[in-house]
Amino acid sequence: MKQIFLYLALIGLLSACSVRFTLKGSMVPENIKTFTVQYFENRAPLINPTMSQSFTEALKDRITRESRLVLETKDGDIEFKGTITGYSIRPMAIQADALSAETRLTVTVKVEYRNFKNPKDNWESQFSAYEDYPSERNITDIEGELTNLIIEQLTEDIFNKAFSDW
């Protein structure tokens, strides 16, 4: 009986808060109901033709999946927009024979976050993520897998900056 009372008290306390919590640890103010993600253009010197679409859709999916916000095509309470500014492949771990044992694929994204309900929360930031792979592998064989991992990390970092108190 005592446990039930404590449980009900905890539920009542949490429902009275002005901030809504999700199981993922994100905090979204109650007055924010919708979001918009603009198409992220790829302006990197090296272009992956599917990167813009893949990244934009992944960011929409992450926010939809991990928050209570509803996606709007325009005029959301908050908006994410930006550009893919970097997509690079660089040798890493040079060996004694001057050959690279590993290669690194890095993607950099510039993000503008606009909160139309509370403009003091607006920010602009650059995010970067990478994956290393054995140099003997052909990038065209594993590029899709690597970019998916990188996009997953980038969208997590962006989501955390926008919705977590860290």
Check residue 165 and give its pLDDT.
58
Cα–Cα distance for residue pair 53/61, rounded to 1 Å: 12
**pLDDT, tens digit, 9 for 90 and up, residues 65-112:** 999 999 999 999 999 999 999 999 998 877 666 677 899 999 999 999
User: What are phi and psi for residue 103, nearest 5 degrees?
Assistant: -125, 145
Check residue 52 and give its pLDDT.
97
Check residue 96 and give its pLDDT.
63
Check residue 18 and give its pLDDT.
36
Check residue 32 and give its pLDDT.
95
Check residue 9 and give its pLDDT.
46
Which pTM value belongs to this model?
0.81
| DSSP 8-state secondary structure symbol assigned to residue 33 | -
State the DSSP string of 117-154.
Answer: S-GGG-EEEEEEEEEEEETTS-HHHHHHHHHHHHHHHH
> How would you label 71-87 residue by residue, b for 16+ Cβ within 10 Å and e otherwise?
eeeeebbbbbbbbbbbb
The answer to whether 84 and 47 are in contact (CB under 8 A) is no
Please report, for the chain, the start and end positions of each structural domain, with discontinuous segments joined by +. Answer: 31-163
Check residue 29 and give its pLDDT.
85
Check residue 92 and give its pLDDT.
86
The answer to whether 102 and 132 are in contact (CB under 8 A) is yes
CATH 3.30.160.150 fits 31-163, yes or no: yes
Q: Which residues of the chain have pLDDT under 50?
A: 1-25, 166
Of 37, 17, 13, 36, nearest to 165 (Cα)?
17
